[in-house]
Copies of this chain bind each other. A is one copy, B any other.
Amino acid sequence: MHLNYSHSEENYLKTIFHLQLENQVVTTNALAEKLNARPASITDMMKKLSAKKLLNYKPYYGFSLSAEGKRVAIDIIRRHRLWEFFLSEKLKFGWDEVHVLAEELEHVGSKKLIDKLDEYLGFPRFDPHGDPIPDSRGKINPRHVSPLSEAPLNCPLKISRISNQSHEFLDVLRHKGLAIGTQLEVKKRFDFDGALQVKIKAAHLDTLSEPLAKHIHVKKV
């Protein structure tokens, strides 16, 4: 059973999936915020997705994806990440430019197109931001990385995932010379505001705020 969903419906499902990872039940306002829409619009769409059995919805009590809703969401995420990989790897787009383009490409074409693209790219396992790419059956291999904000002191680390693709966020990273693969070491954590003093590329020191460090994920080297 492989129905077709509108761009809008697909975006709602994808966004709900991401929000669910942080918080089991998703609220109307949280979704409105993420989608840059008004709460009333969210309620409208919830009724439609609910009628299509893509999510469980009880008025005033939030909502969560059904099995089918999850399946569709993961499919969109697969498309998104494969296109990001293609744009970065083959077309040589900067890793901070690919997100916006992939937002459009993810809604195009058939399953066959995506499976052929996957094969052409050599079945990559991570996108340019370090996020895992679901396979053709919808399986996601989670990464064992932790946010920089919780990393131990004086331990050599490598950035392996960036979990915020907003223009504003990527702008900070570019200015500070941070990207996937950059080597780091946390020298001090300030208890007052959670900010970190970090040594970048075994060279200069800089300070990263807590909200920033939460979206930078690292692995020990």
Contact = CB atoms under 8 A, between A and B. Distances in A.
A108 B113 contact: no
Interface in A68-103: 87, 90-93, 101
A116 interface: yes
A117 interface: yes
B116 A92 contact: yes
Contacts of A92: 116, 120
A109 interface: yes
B104 A91 contact: no
Contact of A91 (B87, B108, B120): B120
A203 to B, nearest CB: 33
Contacts of A105: 105, 108-109
Interface in A35-75: none
Oligomer: number of copies:
2
Interface string A106-118: 0011100100110
A169 to B, nearest CB: 21
Contacts of A116: 91-93
B117 A108 contact: no
A117 B87 CA distance: 9
Nearest to A87: B113
A87 B117 CA distance: 9
A125 to B, nearest CB: 20
A190 to B, nearest CB: 41
Contacts of A101: 108-110, 113
A90 B105 CA distance: 17
19 contacts: A87-B113, A90-B120, A91-B113, A91-B116, A91-B117, A91-B120, A92-B116, A92-B120, A93-B116, A101-B108, A101-B109, A101-B110, A101-B113, A104-B108, A104-B109, A105-B105, A105-B108, A105-B109, A108-B108
Given A87-B113, A92-B116, A105-B109, 16 more contacts: A90-B120, A91-B113, A91-B116, A91-B117, A91-B120, A92-B120, A93-B116, A101-B108, A101-B109, A101-B110, A101-B113, A104-B108, A104-B109, A105-B105, A105-B108, A108-B108
